[in-house]
Structure 1
Amino acid sequence: MSRSGTALVAGASRGLGLLIARDLARRGLDVAICARDAVELEQAEARLAGEGATVRSYVCDVTDRTAVTDLVARVEGETGPLDVAIHVAGIIQVGPVDAMTADRFDEAIDIMLRGPINLALAVLPGMRERGFGRIGTVTSIGGVVSVPHLLPYSSAKFGAVGFSQGLSAELAGTGVTSTTIVPGLMRTGSHLHAQFAGDAGSEFAWFGPGASLPLVAMDAEKAARRMVKGVLAGDPMVTLTPMAHIGRRVAGLAPATTTRLMGLVNRALPTGSHGDVREGMHARTELRPGPDGSSTP
């Protein structure tokens, strides 16, 4: 399906956000992308433009409410009214709670909860005045089932799920919709940019494979297409991957059992709580080849 209009994707310099921006462009929308890293953003714009997309890029930190409001005003001044706004920006911090400082919780919440709130509040006045708009918030199965060693991430994502669902209810009948996107694991390469605390190598050893194996994680391009389709259709919720569907249902039907199960999972995870925070691409260098050629911490 193709259509005209303008879309803004927050957190689109790489990974899932870039794929969502590409899919929107392929459907005929003009696309504005934003992120914090100017270099990565410039590369993303060049890549999309090289594929024939009409695209503009803007450096913006979604945690800065004033900056987001100014961004929306600038985009609409340069490209026209925003029909679609999708928040993808995120950060993954992996490690036991003993290795997680309050600052790490603040960072996760600022990006993945306040970010969607800032974006939605910035685009809502214009969308409501025009009687049409599509808002999408990429959350996670981690916002439905709180997984051990991802506590800052889950805390932020739980809040994002609540905000997006509540916003959908409040917008009923206005022509503006809010879509809560709940994906499971996807092969976006996010594990290489995740932050690993405590025993970084051991944390990467359990998290990395789950985020990259074809039998466990969903193809990111396929996921992006389904996300965009759901947002444009105004669906209240888009749940991706069988594991995400199962996780939502089990957590809803048996929350206490789910919590106990996560407790058992936690016992199998690394226990180290000291050491520097390492980005995934560096944490994996702390793995050493096992006797069978596999990598072990």
Structure 2
Amino acid sequence: MSRPSITALLARPGALPARPVALVAGASRGLGLLVARELAERGCRVVGLSRSEESLAQAREQMAGWGHELTTYAVDVTDDERLAEVVRRAGTEVGPIDVAVHVAGVIQVGPAESMTREHYEQAIGIMLWGPINLALAVLPGMRERRRGRIGIVTSVGGTVSVPHLLPYSTAKFGAVGFSEGLRAELTGTGVTATTIIPGLMRTGSHVAAEFTGDQAAEYAWFAPGASLPGVAIDAERAASAIAEGVLAGRGQVVLSPLAQVGMRVAGVAPGLTGSLLGVAARLLPSAPPDPTSTGTVDGHTARARLDSPLVEKLTALGTRASRRFNELRSSRRS
């Protein structure tokens, strides 16, 4: 599928070289893999990062099947020193990083009573410190060259805190603040920061998400929401909008009508929004008597424990996406 040229997408033609180097953190599966493909479709040389060398090998194979090369490095975005080292190495081996998009994330689903400090540390480490670490690694070179694009995938959960996703929303609220503040700080430097705010997307993430509390019951409400048309948007369409928005240097890219409505309602009527979210929280599964006794399992395990033909039907599109975009074959974190 053809894509507009980079020159046509850039706010200032010539701001980036003919074949810019684009780095995607969390490129081994799901949305990150699709963003990598979209950037390659638009003429970028793409560098993909992930914790798992195995999942990166699968991503390279899949990108090759789409007709694109993917240069990969195994690194954890929470390790700032190692990430900076990888950025320097990629700059030498591939070329200076002109575009950096942070997609890596973890979704933890369950009541607040079942969430431990470790859940918060994990979420904040990946989805708040991750974007900060990536930006600090690429910004010196971008500032020196007076060109660059940074994209940070946040969430509507970073503007409206959703029940049973508290560590996730906590990290995403921070990421929104960092991304928006960074854009303001970069004004006039030739470098831009784009805040990407998606709602639910059919990437197959429900099988890689982590579930606490009544794990099967939590999976039963979350998985259909991440799969059904009208609730979750098509991941390929989302990735295309992300790549286009970042390359064009837009300040914000909001994905899905539901995300736009949720943000507007929360902004205009925060009290009403809080009341509605409180009702939603009461309708979601209750915590077990000993909230932390069940531990945390991934979506594969929660799905097997639920063993519901109805949920399997409702999640058919999402499960199909998980097969297409590496979610079934990858480790729990991208």
- The normalised TM-score by structure 2 is 0.86
CA distance in 1, matches of 2:306, 2:111: 19
Q: Does 1:279 align with 2:279?
A: no
The counterpart of 1:10, out of the listed 20, 25, 35, is 25
SS at match of 2:97: coil
Q: May I ask how many residue pairs the two structures share in their alignment?
A: 293
User: Which shows bigger deviation, 41-50 or 258-267?
Assistant: 41-50
Matched residue type, 2:71: R
Cα separation, 2, equivalents of 1:32 and 1:236: 23
- Alignment partners' CA distance in 1, 2:196 and 2:47: 20
Deviations 1:163-202 (A, max 9, x none): 0000000111111000000000000000100000000000
Distance in structure 1 (CA, Å) of the matches to 2:101 and 2:181: 16
Q: Which residue identity does 2:92 align to in structure 1?
A: G
Moved more, 246-255 or 204-213: 246-255
1:120 aligned partner, one-letter code: A
Question: 1:206 is matched with which residue?
Answer: 221
Query: Which aligned segments of 4 or more residues in structure 1 are displaced greater than 2 angstroms?
Result: 49-52, 293-296
Query: 2 CA distance for matches of 1:279 and 1:55?
Result: 28
- Structure 2 counterpart of 1:205, one-letter code: A
Q: Of residues 117, 125, 148 in structure 2, which corresponds to 1:110? A: 125
Q: Secondary structure at the match of 2:279?
A: helix
- What is the match of residue 171 of structure 1? 186
Tell me the equivalent position of 1:72: 87
Q: How much does 1:28 deviate?
A: 0.8
1:1-297 maps to which residues of 2 (within 5 A)?
A: 1-3=4-6, 4-272=19-287, 273=291, 274-289=293-308, 294-295=310-311
Q: Residues 294 and 177 of structure 1: is their aligned pair in 2 closer, same or farther, counting only changes over 3 Å?
A: same
Q: CA separation in 2, counterparts of 1:19 and 1:288?
A: 30
Give the Cα separation in 1 of the matches to 2:54 and 2:98. 27
Identify unmatched segments of 5+ residues in structure 1: none
Higher relative contact order (CA 8 A, sep 6+): 2
CA–CA separation in structure 2 for the residues paired with 1:295 and 1:11: 28
Gaps of 5+ in 2: 7-18, 313-334
Tell me the CA shift for residue 295 of structure 1.
4.5
Contact 2:26 2:103 in 1 (8 A): yes
Range that drifts further, 75-84 or 269-278 = 269-278
Aligned-pair CA distance for 1:288: 4.2
CA distance in 2, matches of 1:226, 1:154: 22
> Percent of aligned pairs with the same residue?
58
State the alpha-carbon separation in 1 of the partners of residues 224 and 23 from structure 2: 32
Structure 2: how far apart are the matches of 1:83 and 1:10?
14
